[in-house]
Amino acid sequence: MTIAEVCERFELTQDTLRYYEKIGLIPTIQRKASGIRNYTEEDCKWIEFIKCMRSAGLSIDFLSEYVKLFKEGDSTLEKRRSLLIDQRTLLKERMHEMQITLNRLDRKVERYDTLVLEKEKHLKRNSINTEIELLG
């Protein structure tokens, strides 16, 4: 796949893909004889993994460490597993904090909705009373 096809598939910019390659988050991409990058499905799996982890808030530093260990081979399996568990714990904590914030926002919106309804009822009553006064 070309860089343009990969960008479209993963909704990333070419600059982002080049950056990921430059810092080693994805393997060096093979090139065609013409010099154009030729992404394989294996490359795309790395991109998908990185995009997923980034969208969950994992840092470039974490991903760099993880990929570095991956490249070192099976001797780093336990270390990689431990890193993933640590990140999972942090993500759960962030999700819990976000749920608390979402609940608070829901309550705030509900209060605003209640206030707006009360104001509308008040305005409607005043409007009806004004009409009655004008007619009476």
Instruction: Tell whether the model's pLDDT for residue 128 goes beyond 90.
Output: no
Torsion of CA 100, 52, 57, 63, to 10 degrees: 150
From 14-18, 58-62, 90-94, 132-136, the region with the lowest mean pLDDT: 132-136
Task: Fill in the amino acid letter for 64.
Answer: S
pTM: 0.72
d(CA 10, CA 110): 37
pLDDT at residue 47 in the model = 97
Residue pair 94/59 in contact (Cβ under 8 Å)? The answer is: no
